Amino acid sequence: MGKTLFDKIWDAHVVQKVEDGPTQLYVDRLYCHEVTTPQAFDTLRDKNIKPFRPQNIVAMPDHNTPSDQQEVIHDPVGRKQVETLKANCQEFGIKHFEMGSKDNGIIHVVGPEKALSLPGMTIVCGDSHTSTHGAVGAIAMGIGTSEVAQVLASQCILQSKPKTMRIHVDGTLQKGVTAKDVALYIMAQMTTSGATGYAVEYAGSTIRNMSMEGRLTLSNLSIEMGSRAGLIAPDEITFAYLKGREYAPKGADWDKSLAEWKSLKSDEDAVFDKEVFYRAEDIAPRITYGTNPGAGIAIDGTVPTLESVSESERGQLVNMLDYMQFTPGQKLEGVPVDYVFLGACTNGRIEDFRAFASVVKGKKKAENVVAWLVPGSWLVRQQIIDEGIDKVLEEAGFELRLPSCSSCLAMNPDKVPAGKLSISTSNRNFVGRQGPGARTVLASPLVVAASAITGKITDPRTFL
């Protein structure tokens, strides 16, 4: 019996198996940011040990960094976290891309764009959206603080092997439908716990035709349906994206790596624990109506009625709609929005800004809307400027901000006020995620752009 892509990478990294216990897995790349690592470094000090392979570790602040200026962090807790990360990296000899430097950005954007994340790797970080890096054909998982300490000390981690699931999406996406819509559609079908206990491989003609940026978006959201990891087999699109990037292999090393990477795919006779199939033609531009990413509908659809859900789900639906100030059966298209956010490790890449600009070009931002357009890295910001996208945005009444996690989560100044409605390209719409009492609708860059122009939730197909 053949092997799945996940099995091939996992098996190549097994150090030892604990009888009736977890597997000791070698880790190729550890990413560290400022929020989940201070205690892990303290553990090293307590035990008087040093990182086993510091050259395999990369750190950068992103959650607390402001997007309006990066001279100072006014919040004392956030400032302390960023300063502590820098001090820990200096003490332990770890590569650190500090705030405001050209190498900085959101860790899940910078890793792939610098080719620090490569096919066949095992990658971990103390952040749930580490699944993003699986788009290059790697096993990438979020881990806890105690596990970060394990990897710092040994470059290994103890993990139980998950089951495998393959999600096929075949066909041609409709006009105005993006990778974000595909992910939101899958989550609505699978529910936010539908892939719990699995590592997911995405396959099918729709996935093969996705850009690298689209694949990164899809893999990023794998965690939102409970999956441990979301992988996409590397192919010519992957190789073209990585070639020539800063940390990609060069010369003969590139040729050798490429030959190895081309074998990284599930065998024809590989058996998955579960297979799921979807049709691209069934997917429309999406929005969420609730307080989890799986609570979503087509943008021209309606919020579920109480009668349309099971009795056990009605209480949750009532609670979600009460918080969101929506009603059962309501059509959300046309509902006024207060804030729009383009960015996050989900949609903060150059392709996302190109898409946003394609909608707003020659138009004007709605006066009632506050807009935060935040690149995922300084490289993305420079691409925006080099391509003249910043001028398109400025003429439409938008400001291009500085790289940061920004309004994805309420850990920096970009907080949505209580009761205000934000339409956002980020990954989570949990209660208070964008600010205490804030209400969040998740959507693609195209939907967010259309809504920013009209000042209300708008189907982008009217502009395309």
Q: Per-residue confidence at 84, pLDDT binned at 50, 70, 90?
A: very high
Kindly give, in sequence order, each residue whose CB lies less than 8 Å from that of residue 31, ignoring residues fewer than 6 positions away. Answer: 57, 58, 59, 60, 107, 108, 111, 123, 124, 125, 127, 130
DSSP-derived pairing of the beta strands 156-159 and 23-26: antiparallel
> Per residue in 370-398, pLDDT tens?
999 999 999 999 999 999 999 999 999 99
Report whether pLDDT(5) > 90.
yes
Instruction: Tell me what percent of the residues of the chain surpass a pLDDT of 70.
Output: 100
Kindly give, in sequence order, each residue whose CB lies less than 8 Å from that of residue 87, ignoring residues fewer than 6 positions away. Answer: none
Specify the CATH number of the domain 331-462: 3.30.499.10
The partner residues of 372 in beta bridges, in order of sequence, read 341
DSSP-derived pairing of the beta strands 95-96 and 57-59: parallel
* Class in CATH terms, 163-234+266-282: alpha beta
pLDDT computed for residue 354 by the predictor: 98
Report whether pLDDT(1) > 90.
no
Q: Per-residue confidence at 92, pLDDT binned at 50, 70, 90?
A: very high
The helix (H) or strand (E) run that includes residue 152 is: helix 145-154
> Per residue in 218-237, pLDDT tens?
999 999 999 999 999 999 99
Q: Per-residue confidence at 445, pLDDT binned at 50, 70, 90?
A: very high
- Of 17-21, 176-180, 333-337, 355-359, which gets the smallest average pLDDT? 17-21
pLDDT computed for residue 116 by the predictor: 98
pLDDT computed for residue 105 by the predictor: 98
User: What average pLDDT score do residues 335-348 get?
Assistant: 98
> Per residue in 112-159, pLDDT tens?
999 999 999 999 999 999 999 999 999 999 999 999 999 999 999 999
User: What average pLDDT score do residues 45-56 get?
Assistant: 97
> Per residue in 272-290, pLDDT tens?
999 999 999 999 999 999 9
Q: What is the pLDDT of the chain when averaged over all its residues?
A: 97
**What is the token pair recorded at 234?**
């590397």
> Per residue in 303-338, pLDDT tens?
999 999 999 999 999 999 999 999 999 999 999 999
Kindly give, in sequence order, each residue whose CB lies less than 8 Å from that of residue 237, ignoring residues fewer than 6 positions away. Answer: 208, 210, 211, 212, 215
* Class in CATH terms, 5-161+236-261: alpha beta
